[in-house]
Amino acid sequence: MGLGRLGDKILDTRAAAAGPAAGLGIVETYLARLHEDLSGLGSGEVATYIPELGRADPELFGICIATTDGQLYTIGDADHEVTIQSVSKPFMYAAALETHGRDRVLDQVGVEPTGETFNAIVLDEDTNRPFNPMVNAGAIATAELMCGPDPASAAEEMRRYFSRFAGRELSIDEAVFRSEHETGHRNRAITWLMLNSGMIERDPDEVLDLYFRQCSVLVSARDLAVMAATLAAHGTNPMTGDQVAAPDTVRDVLSVMSSAGMYDYAGQWAFDVGLPAKSGVSGLVAAVVPGQLGIAVYAPRLDPVGNSVRGVEACRRFADRFGLHVFGERSDPGQVIRRAYTAAQVQSRHVRDPREVDVLRQEGGRFAVLELQGMLSFGAVERVLRRMREMPDAVETVALDCRRVAMVDAGGLELLRQIMTVGRGPRLLLAEVAHRPALQPLADLAAEPGAEGLVELVGDVDGALEAFEDAVIAEAGAQADAGRFTLAEQDIFARLDADEIAAMETVAAVLSYDPEQVIVQTGDEAQAFFVVAQGTVSICVELGEGRRRRVASIGPGQVIGEMALLDGGPRSATAIADGKVMCYAFTVAAITEMSDRHPRIMEKILGSIVHSLSLRLRRANAELQALE
């Protein structure tokens, strides 16, 4: 596959120095604050042992995050191009593994951390191999494996391979290459030592030419974040879809990055940050969150070990704030949203009359539901927030259905907390959270200062949908008359003439029920049906051990137990009064007896029932299509 274009997948926050600005999303706002906080960090010195690197502006500072599904977040000088330097080493190592296989590469380069500086002139005394491919000796030995028939073709092959990782055509900075070539005496000493020990066989100048050129490839923090995200995505470039490296290759590369990618700081980095990473003396740092994202930082001031001072601190804070340590809990963030719909597509279980349904279809777009699953990690919540941001401006409320959420980690919780920091966007409802210990942090979040009006707990999505529907219908003045008492106004009897209505009135029993009183019970013999004249009734299925689940809520004009007229079998559900309820009750025997005098009553009532069932079936089909 070709390199492709980044196109619409990029979200760019270039107003670096301005701090958090109106219009930024949650992740961008956090990055803007992080950038602002660290911009005052002035310790460290720009590398000067390569003269061209010493020309860098020490105040340049850019950050980029690239997710495994192709989203980019940038701040500051993320598009400023510099030479990749030692951050090239993981990608050249990947090329060697892909070309020669693991065993051949291990013959030439080990995988043990050294405890030495990155440019130490030292080899493993037992094997004569360089200790690992992340230090100069190992990278030079790796470069020998990739030398082609001539230096020019090898350099071009290397450039193309790096470009596939970046998702665009990269180039080589010839001025930096010449500077390295003229001053790289220590690297020459390393190369001649390996030639003397038999670890390399090619002309040292030819090997060094390729090594110096790989270090001189120009990239920005944006490019490097995409390269890191390609490793995070098991070798597939998230921008182009190009399978650049095999998953096994990526596993080996990340393993060595974890143990040796940050020079003599690697052990402390693994302890504090816990992410596979690589730094370079130009001021670049790249880190990988497997399965989720890549992070790249450019800031040329270096600490004594050779790592970017701001780059290390930015990664440390980011990983700590969002719980990204590689040994923390992990799940696939790409599967977090099980389905999404609005109240215009799927209504609550409260059965509405046609006029109310019309209003909901027009206004239901103001309420959206996201059904979530798995673990709410940083990567998962980032996808949720991104989906929210992509919603139309008309969306006022988003309900997160957490029934299938197993847990929320520190990163996911912190990213949700940023909603209160930003203080804008749709109101967020957290459903199915209460009384679940694993989700207690979400419940606590809704109780934090600043959450009011932004984050709220609700029992379940159905109840939240019903409350929204009631408010919208009332706002439109389309609510059904809660006080309909007359038989003639009931939908089930709409087809009867005046004489037939009068006959029905003679056999109707008017019954009243108190809140929570059972009207019909699952398993009872169905001898009568009921028409709700006032109030609402919940239809529930029994789950055993005293537990019930509401499957519908019906109001005036709706029928309870109409199947009694069709088959007379046992009740399949329980009907419970939500509040004060008044019903008309009709026994099947009474209606059957009047058939001699009014032979079409049963036919007309059954016709109304069939019509009602048809409407419900159509609604159910529409909801199923919306939930696909």
Q: What does the pLDDT look like over 358-380, one tens digit per residue?
A: 999 999 999 999 999 988 988 89
Identify the domain boundary among 476, 497, 531: 476
Query: Which active-site residues does the annotation give?
Result: 86, 89, 211, 263, 281
- For residue 314, pLDDT beyond 60: yes
Q: What is the dihedral of CA 428, 432, 436, 442, to 10 degrees?
A: 0
* 220 or 589, higher pLDDT: 220
Beta bridge partners of 420: none
In a domain, 482, yes or no: no
- The domain containing residue 411 runs over which residues? 333-476
CATH at 556: 2.60.120.10
Question: Is residue 48 a part of any domain in this protein?
Answer: yes
Residues 160 and 270 placed together within one structural domain of the fold: yes
pLDDT digits (tens, 9 = 90+) for 197-219: 767 778 888 888 888 999 999 99
User: Can you give the CATH number for the domain in which 24 is found?
Assistant: 3.40.710.10
77 and 26 assigned to the same domain:
yes
Are residue 171 and residue 28 in the same domain, yes or no?
yes
CATH number assigned to the domain comprising residue 358:
3.30.750.24
Per-position DSSP letters for 122-173, written without gaps between them: ---TTT-S-S-TTSHHHHHHHHHHT--SSHHHHHHHHHHHHHHHHTS--EE-
Report the pLDDT value the prediction gives residue 208, as an integer from 0 to 100. 84
Same domain as 427, residue 374: yes
CA distance 210 to 526: 86
Q: What is the structure's pLDDT at 8?
A: 34
**H or E element that contains 370:** strand 367-376
| Partners of 585 in the β-ladder | 509, 530
Query: Residue with structure tokens 């679940």?
Result: 436
Domain boundary pick from 273, 301, 321? 321
Which pLDDT score, from 0 to 100, does residue 11 have? Answer: 40
Confidence at residue 273, expressed as pLDDT on a 0 to 100 scale = 92
Within this chain, do residues 417 and 493 fall inside the same structural domain, yes or no? no
Q: DSSP 3-state assignment of 348?
A: coil
Domain assignment present for 412: yes
**315 & 341 share domain:** no
Residues 67 and 154 grouped into a single domain:
yes
- Considering the domain architecture, whether residues 307 and 391 belong to the same structural domain is answered as no
Q: Is 118 domain-assigned?
A: yes
- Look at residue 261 in the predicted model and tell me its pLDDT: 87
The verdict on residue 481 lying in a domain is no
Lowest mean pLDDT among 56-60, 194-198, 209-213, 238-242: 194-198
Lowest-confidence range among 281-290, 376-385, 610-619?
610-619
pLDDT at 519: 93
Residues 84 and 43 placed together within one structural domain of the fold: yes
Q: 133: closest CA among 289, 292, 300, 252? A: 252
Statement: residue 10 has pLDDT above 60: no
Residue 12 has pLDDT above 50, yes or no: no
Domain boundary, last residue among 321, 356, 389: 321
Q: What's residue 196's pLDDT? A: 64
Q: Say yes or no: 410 and 493 in one domain.
A: no
Domain for residue 253, yes or no? yes
* Separation between Cα atoms, residue 525 and residue 162, nearest integer Å: 74
pLDDT at 384: 94
Number of domains in the chain: 3
Q: Which range, of 323-337, 338-352, 459-473, averages the lowest pLDDT?
A: 323-337
Cα distances (angstroms) measured from residue 604 to each of 501, 524, 530, 609: 11, 26, 16, 9
151/271 same-domain check: yes
Calculate mean pLDDT across residues 137-146: 84
Q: Are residues 15 and 155 in the same domain?
A: yes
DSSP 506-572: HH-EEEEE-TT-EEE-TTSB--EEEEEEES-EEEEEEEETTEEEEEEEE-TT-EESGGGGTT--B-S
Instruction: For residue 367, list its beta bridge partners.
Output: 397
Q: How far is CA 92 from the centre of its chain?
A: 31
